[in-house]
Amino acid sequence: MRFGILGPVVVGGEGGVVQVRGLMPRTLLAALLVDANNVVSVPRLFGALWDDHPPDTARSSLQNHVTRLRAVLSANGGERIRTVAPGYLIQVAAGELDLAAFTGLHRRGLDAHRAGDWDGAACHLAGALRLWRGESMADVAAGTLRHIEARRLSELRLNALEVRIHADLQRGRDEEIIAELGALIAAYPMRERFHELLMLASYHVGRQAEALGAYQQARALLVSELGVEPGAGLRRLQERILAADPALARPAARGSGPAGTVWPETGAAPGRPAQLPADLADFTGRAGQLALLTQLLDSRRQGSAVAAIVVLSGPAGIGKTSLAVHAGHRLADSFPDGQLYAHLNGTGAPASPASVLGRFLRDLGDDPAGIPVAVGERAARFRSLLAGRRLMIVLDDVRDAAQITPLLPGLGGSAVLVTTRGLLADLPVSSRIMLGDFTPAETRDLLTRIVGGCRVEAEPRAADAVVEQCAGLPLAVRIAGGRLATRPRWRIANFAARLADPAARLGEFAVGGLSVRAAFAASYDNLAAASGDGIDPARAFRLLGMSPGLDISVPAAAALLGTDEPAAGQVLEILLDNHLVQAAGPPGHYWLNGLLHLFAAERACAEEHPRALDMALNRLLAWYLNGPETADPAVAPAAALPLDPVCRASGRRWLARLGLRSGDQDQAAAEAAPAQPVECHGRLAEWIGARDSYAEQARAGESTELGQPMAVASA
């Protein structure tokens, strides 16, 4: 049989093309073929079939799809798909899979190019490129395969094309290559290597002015579209053309050349991986963290035999990936052997170390047929390939230390930048950087860069209101800015008014594939794996949404949760480890981002019985009012918890803003407190109204047992 995924998925049997009908069976086949002859875990297959949202029936559905696919393939070539823990494996023989053939030809082409064998390089790479029939896996589900694997394969194809063109230039085929590059630049205008090759081809045929003109066109495009200057390769090639560098001349002898031939524009070996996602043209803020990352990761400053490993941690939407990608691009010159990037999907169906290692080994030129199965052997092979090289490795959205330990270099020279919503406390690292919320100035700066200075200056107060409602969360700023930028007729004041409604605010922070609520939900769902001595961390987080303020102490949390202080402190630390609360002020005090506070209240109203919420709030009120000299029996008739004087003062201020009595001593303060707007749930009546608006949507599934979660969807 023949299998093809370099284009629409196709299967060929003895009688011709075998029809694999149905989107899901076709996607399943592609997911197995991408890692042919290796076990693909069930969670990875879930991710391929349903992205990050597998249904409750996912396991039985997967088994049904496997059965259907086995029936199709067994009728045309014997049993192919085997069940091997922890998933499934498809057996493919040599010469049966177009991806394996492409990878082999690609590797041989790169080897020939490094040896200066231009004819061999061009021949092998042209053969590899002929295997492509269109966009890889174009007819599979738009999930992990399309978003990650298809893009990876597309990057390998473009790399093969770049190296083949360079080999053809060395063979003297400049004129026809110039025409080919014109079409490629039109199709891939942001790919700087194509611009470099056009400059080199023009220079080879004596058109120095055209070569320099090609640089100016590339620069104008990059500045206008992305707001960035050309990379080091383009800039250096322009300088060398201006200086008429003799090293740019084509070798006299075709088909042979010095071993170790390098790209003339960069000095790096051809075929180096360049997998970092595109940088943000409007990247804003994080100047201090960026300077620290540069100091920690720059390989030119490293003298240690130990690889630099830096962990970026923080809550959902705080901009960890954006900072990691930006830093990776900034440090590209320090890592001439390229950049490896992998999204580990730590908040969904996590990628296995074996699958990531398999891809990294192939991308570094290892023979796919010789890649071992065992993760330990793959890790050893990976460390061997990294020895003597300087690569930047970005591991994005990591779940835990075990997921990435096999992916770490064994020697210095390379560097690893990790992003995670956890802490990875058990991972030995060079440094840890925890990202916090944007300052108001950073928030306003990013909003201005996205929306435009003229609109912000025209409505400064409305812009300030939007900045305030974004609560310092970069994801919220980017969504708000994106919605305003794509709706030029909107007034900022109108959008600010929409954000002012706390019950609707999280719904407004969604555009395209970006959603603040969805980002928070991924972290919240992961709390199911945590434990806290009988206290459910997810429930503790929900009840924190009932706290009228954004900050809370351990004693106050104990009252809210109905437990003792040690248990409350432990569960708050679990939430801290998952970046769902932040440490604030003196020890034992915690703080929630304003949007996270809203999300917690949403989950409470959707999953808790209203009477349980009333009881939790009453316990907190009782705690705030407790004390022999200040207790008000009408409000707190049964308070018997110890009182923190600092929190008592905070509670009195809060009660004054609510307009409730807190003993005679606080009556005057309540009457003198200025009327002012407060955050969601800042007034008890407002909280009740917001709670009821969510709870009404959940009445049909309301439980009659006090304190038990309701079987309803999120409001």
Angle between helices 460-469 and 474-485 (to 10 degrees): 140
Residue 705 clears pLDDT 60, i.e. is over it: no
Q: Give the pLDDT confidence of 362-378 residue by residue, as tens digits.
A: 888 777 777 888 899 99
Residue 434 clears pLDDT 60, i.e. is over it: yes
Residue 647 Cα to chain centre, angstroms: 38
Beta bridge mates, 218: none
**Burial class for 469, CB neighbours closer than 10 Å (0-12, 13-18, 19+):** buried
Residues 241/198, Cβ–Cβ less than 8 Å = no
Q: Give the pLDDT confidence of 147-175 residue by residue, as tens digits.
A: 788 888 888 899 899 999 999 888 888 88
pLDDT confidence of residue 474 = 93
Locate CATH 3.40.50.300 in the chain. Answer: 287-434
Pair of tokens at residue 364: 């570094």
- Phi then psi for residue 262, to 5 deg, are -120, 165
Residue 475 clears pLDDT 90, i.e. is over it: yes
**Burial class for 536, CB neighbours closer than 10 Å (0-12, 13-18, 19+):** middle
Q: Give the pLDDT confidence of 346-361 residue by residue, as tens digits.
A: 887 788 899 899 889 8
Cα–Cα distance list, 38 to 50, 202, 243, 371 (Å): 21, 46, 52, 10
Q: Which region among 128-137, 303-312, 313-322 has the lowest average model confidence (pLDDT)?
A: 303-312
Angle between helices 610-625 and 594-607 (to 10 degrees): 130
pLDDT confidence of residue 508 = 92
Cβ neighbours for 139, distance < 8 A, ≥ 6 positions apart: 8, 9, 23, 26
- Please give the share of the chain, as a percent, with pLDDT higher than 90: 28
392-398/10-13 β-pairing:
unpaired
Q: Give the pLDDT confidence of 257-290 residue by residue, as tens digits.
A: 333 334 444 333 445 788 888 887 778 888 889 8
Higher pLDDT residue, 686 or 85? 85
pLDDT confidence of residue 676 = 34
| Sign of the alpha-carbon torsion through 358, 362, 365, 366 | positive
Cα–Cα distance list, 610 to 135, 535, 606 (Å): 52, 19, 9
Residue 278 DSSP one-character state:
P
Q: Which fold has domain 287-434?
A: Rossmann fold (3.40.50)
Q: How confident is the model at residue 223 (pLDDT cuts 50, 70, 90)?
A: confident
pLDDT confidence of residue 630 = 37
Secondary structure string (H, E, C) spanning 608-658: CCHHHHHHHHHHHHHHHHCCCCCCCCCCCCCCCCCCCHHHHHHHHHHHHHH
| Sign of the alpha-carbon torsion through 621, 622, 627, 633 | positive
Q: How confident is the model at residue 252 (pLDDT cuts 50, 70, 90)?
A: very low
Place of tokens 């694997």: 149
Residue 476 clears pLDDT 90, i.e. is over it: yes
| pLDDT averaged over every residue in the chain | 79
Distance CA 645, CA 63 (A): 60
Q: Give the pLDDT confidence of 488-534 residue by residue, as tens digits.
A: 889 999 999 999 988 889 999 988 778 999 899 888 988 865 554 56
Q: How confident is the model at residue 704 (pLDDT cuts 50, 70, 90)?
A: very low
Residues 30/137, Cβ–Cβ less than 8 Å = yes
Distance CA 266, CA 448 (A): 36
551-553/589-591 β-pairing:
antiparallel
Residue 71 clears pLDDT 80, i.e. is over it: yes
Cβ neighbours for 456, distance < 8 A, ≥ 6 positions apart: 444, 447, 448, 463, 492
Residues 37/91, Cβ–Cβ less than 8 Å = yes
pLDDT confidence of residue 621 = 80
Distance CA 160, CA 39 (A): 28
| Sign of the alpha-carbon torsion through 401, 407, 409, 415 | negative
3-state secondary structure of 681: coil
Place of tokens 């003597």: 388
Residues 509/516, Cβ–Cβ less than 8 Å = yes
- Phi then psi for residue 611, to 5 deg, are -65, -35
pLDDT confidence of residue 534 = 66
* Residue 307: closest CA among 390, 432, 413, 403: 413
pLDDT confidence of residue 406 = 94
Q: Which amino acid is at 125?
A: L
Q: Give the pLDDT confidence of 607-653 residue by residue, as tens digits.
A: 888 888 888 888 888 887 763 333 343 333 333 333 344 444 544 54
* Residue 44: closest CA among 451, 355, 321: 355
Residue 524 DSSP one-character state:
H
* Residue 471: closest CA among 493, 445, 438: 438
Residue 484 Cα to chain centre, angstroms: 24
- Please give the share of the chain, as a percent, with pLDDT higher than 70: 81
Residue 470 clears pLDDT 90, i.e. is over it: yes
Q: Give the pLDDT confidence of 28-56 residue by residue, as tens digits.
A: 999 999 988 888 888 888 888 887 678 88
Residue 108 clears pLDDT 70, i.e. is over it: yes
Cβ neighbours for 706, distance < 8 A, ≥ 6 positions apart: 609, 611, 612, 615
Distance CA 76, CA 18 (A): 8
Residue 620 Cα to chain centre, angstroms: 37
Residues 303/146, Cβ–Cβ less than 8 Å = no
Cα–Cα distance list, 111 to 107, 331, 503 (Å): 6, 27, 61
3-state secondary structure of 415: strand
Q: What is the largest CA-CA distance in the chain?
A: 99
- Phi then psi for residue 116, to 5 deg, are 80, 15
Please name the helix (run of DSSP H) or strand (run of DSSP E) that holds residue 427, with its range, or none.
Answer: none
Higher pLDDT residue, 585 or 640? 585
pLDDT confidence of residue 112 = 87
Distance CA 552, CA 401 (A): 30
Distance CA 544, CA 616 (A): 10
Q: How confident is the model at residue 664 (pLDDT cuts 50, 70, 90)?
A: very low
514-515/415-420 β-pairing:
unpaired
- Phi then psi for residue 141, to 5 deg, are -60, 145
Q: How confident is the model at residue 78 (pLDDT cuts 50, 70, 90)?
A: low
pLDDT confidence of residue 532 = 45
Secondary structure string (H, E, C) spanning 17-84: EECCCCHHHHHHHHHHHHCCCCCEEHHHHHHHHHCCCCCCCHHHHHHHHHHHHHHHHHHHHCCCEEEE
Please name the helix (run of DSSP H) or strand (run of DSSP E) that holds residue 89, with its range, or none.
Answer: strand 87-90
Residue 448 clears pLDDT 50, i.e. is over it: yes
Distance CA 273, CA 271 (A): 6
